[in-house]
Amino acid sequence: MSALTELDHVGIAVHDLEAAVSWYAEMFGATVAHRERIESDGVDEALIKVADSYIQLLAPYTDSSPLAKFLERRGEGIHHVGYRVEDCDAALEDVKAKGARVVDEHPRTGSRGTTVAFLHPKSAFGTLIELVQE
């Protein structure tokens, strides 16, 4: 059985959060289900619900945010993929034991009160992966 139970969200880096929210509204009639400032990452998010998953629009609110550096280097676009797991701690320990490089040695609090941990893109075929426990 896979440790990944659902696609939780796709994180998209943008310069202007309001412009991105307006675009999704205009193009698809999509509305924001949740907004949050995630201080640990220096970002503002707007979540747009798509079935049981989300599009997570992300914009940095400070230049010291890692996302600001990402935007500088790579420009706007897909930043990470969030997979839902039953137990973030167990899933993280498992991939570490199997040799995956991780960004977070231990799970931490994400948006919506979730528990999250990031795997490094270097050992994941170029994709920053977030494990999300609801």
Catalytic site positions: 9, 45, 56, 80, 130
Q: Which is nearer to Co ion, 44 or 130 (CB)?
A: 130
Please report how close the Cβ of residue 132 comes to Co ion at its closest, in angstroms: 7
Neighbouring CB atoms inside 10 A of 23's CB total 14
Report strand pairing: 108-109 vs 115-119. antiparallel
Q: Which is nearer to Co ion, 77 or 97 (CB)?
A: 77
What letter would DSSP give residue 8? Answer: E
As measured in angstroms, the least distance from the Cβ of 13 to Co ion is: 11
Where do contacts with Co ion occur on this chain (CB under 5 A)? 11, 82, 130
Contact 35, 45 (CB under 8 A): yes
**Residue ranges of the alpha helices (H) in 29-101?**
66-74, 88-97
Determine the Cα–Cα distance for residues 98 and 39; give it in Å rounded to an integer.
31
What CA–CA distance (Å, rounded) separates 117 from 104? Answer: 5
